[in-house]
Amino acid sequence: MKSAKGSFGLCVTSAQSAHRQLCIASRGQTNSIAFFPKSGIVCYGSEQAAVKAGMSFPTPGGDLHRGSGTFDERPLRYDLDDLNGEIVLLDWGEDGIPEVSLPNRHLPSFKLMKDGCINLVKIQESDTETNISPYLHHRMTLLDPKDHEFMKPLPPDYKDPIAQDIQDIPRVCRQIQDDWRGFGTGTSLNRLTAWNFTKCLQKRMQSLQSQSVERQAGTIDIVLTGCEVSLWLAGKCII
């Protein structure tokens, strides 16, 4: 990733280690990993909401029992640090010892899923050997609406999801418009975000006008950003 330019969301595996390892990297593009201890399923993808798909499938043979790993059986999501760049290694080898390249064997390993059968090793490009956090729980998000007040439940399944998506377009567009107009109860997060973004732009332009910020070669006054929709989802049954 050191020489990578642009935005990347990568999933890499090898014919020699595909039976036990998966490597996921992110820089400039979101990447998330969801763990479902009850079913033994791991989902990963470029959209946070997509990795909740593991909650909508029945477990063949019934749910697994509670394990003795670091986390209990509740589904959890891990979001890679796409701003600074991060690489995550998932290792589910039967020996319980993750195979890590020699330069990175000093990194801590975090046990997840039933009986801690998955080892997660991460490296962030912004980290140094002295500030690597020994904790992982503060990076995890509970996926079940019963455990997380801001997590929305999955919508019901439909026989024709494409037709349902088309039928939902007017409703979704109306919800977006109402949110920006401030209709309904509560504060619109979109409006609040836009207001703060505008204040930051004003502050930046005023600092340039007052010359409190020195102009450099290639100085950018305003940056317009957008979001393109190229999303993907993958999953693997570990147990």
- What is the reported pLDDT for 202? 86
- What is the reported pLDDT for 186? 59
Helix, strand, or coil (residue 165): helix
Do 53 and 63 contact (CB within 8 A), yes or no? no
Do 210 and 12 contact (CB within 8 A), yes or no? no
Helix, strand, or coil (residue 195): helix
The closest alpha carbon to 44, from 58, 60, 19, 23, belongs to: 23
Show the tokens assigned to 112.
């997840």
- What is the reported pLDDT for 60? 63
- What is the reported pLDDT for 133? 60
CA distance 163 to 169: 10
Do 122 and 87 contact (CB within 8 A), yes or no? yes
- What is the reported pLDDT for 80? 93
> Domain residue spans in the chain?
8-152+229-237, 161-209
Q: Return the ∠ at Cα 134 (arms to 130 and 136), rounded to 5°.
A: 135
Sheet harboring 140-142: ordered strands across?
140-142, 76-79, 32-36, 41-45, 233-237
Residues in the chain: 239
> How far is residue 184 from each of residues 179, 191, 224, measured CA to CA in Å?
8, 13, 29
pLDDT digits (tens), the chain, 239 positions: 777 777 788 888 888 888 999 999 998 888 999 999 888 889 999 888 889 988 877 666 656 554 444 456 789 999 999 888 899 999 999 888 899 988 888 888 899 987 788 999 998 877 654 455 667 888 899 998 888 888 888 878 888 988 998 999 999 899 888 888 876 555 778 888 888 988 988 888 888 788 787 777 776 666 667 666 666 666 666 65
Show the tokens assigned to 208.
């340039």
Do 44 and 11 contact (CB within 8 A), yes or no? yes
- What is the reported pLDDT for 185? 54
Show the tokens assigned to 6.
């642009």
Q: Return the ∠ at Cα 239 (arms to 14 and 231), rounded to 5°.
A: 60
